[in-house]
Amino acid sequence: MLRHGEVYNPEKILYGRLPGYRLSELGVQMAKAAAQALADRNIVHVVASPLERAQQTADPIAAQFGLPVGVDERLIESANWFEGKRVSPGDGSFRDPRNWWVLRDPVTPSWGEAYTAIAERMFAALHAARIAAEGREAICVSHQLPIWTLRRYVEHKRLWHDPRKRQCGLASLTSFHFDGAKIVGIGYTEPAAHLVAMSPTARTAKGA
């Protein structure tokens, strides 16, 4: 599971599933760094969320292995009530008392797609990719919250969590290792970490 690279977002909004949000120039370099890190892998299947930033991140990997980029709707970003709004600390929608009712339930959560629904669709997408690659390797390009929710689901941890503590950086790889149909391990790497360090905006990118 590969998270997409940095997105061009000058308005600094939570873009969620909105169309038209593509990789920044740095994001394109992050996608290339991820592809380079995978050059020696036995990848036979590449699939991505339908959103532009995920498709763009998948492109250099697919090109490297001479593969098409498939689309799996189950890999899409989670739905969020604050989509299209600014949510930065100090000047965002969270400060508006009229929006506080949306934040009433952090467990489900009340402001967007249920964590259980995210986990179930991502788990199904993961196994579909495993079957498509069968004995070799697949790359699924998705988004921060769906990938992190999937990981917590597989690790049998509670799904609600502190978003500030997610281990799912831009263009990071969360690898699920299988023995047959059974998940036997999870790995994590950040092939674009050196590029993230170059960009303050990469650390606070909205959307995911």
- For 40, 88, 95, 109, the CA distances from 79, given in Å and listed in that order, are 35, 18, 21, 11
CATH of the domain at 138: 3.40.50.1240
Whether 206 maps to a domain, the answer reads: no
Q: What is the reported pLDDT for 203?
A: 46
| Structure-block tokens of residue 76 | 């899409």
Give the up-direction half-sphere exposure of residue 188: CA atoms within 13 A in the CB hemisphere.
10
pLDDT in tens, the chain (208 residues): 999 999 999 999 999 999 999 999 999 999 999 999 999 999 999 999 999 999 999 999 999 999 999 999 999 999 999 999 998 766 678 788 888 899 999 999 999 999 999 999 999 999 999 999 999 999 999 999 999 999 999 999 999 999 999 999 999 999 999 999 999 999 999 999 999 877 655 544 445 6
Phi, psi for 7 (deg, rounded to 5): -105, 145
Residue 98, domain member (yes or no): no
CA atoms of 136 and 206, how far apart (whole Å): 34
Report the number of distinct structural domains present in the chain: 1
Inside any domain, residue 176: yes
Amino acid (one-letter) located at 137: E
Q: CA–CA separation, 150 vs 156, rounded Å?
A: 10
2 pairs with which residues across the strands? Answer: 141, 173
For residue 92, what pLDDT is reported?
73
pLDDT at 93: 81
Question: Residue 119: which domain range?
Answer: 2-6+23-77+115-199
- How far apart (Å, rounded) are the C-alpha atoms in residues 136 and 54? 22
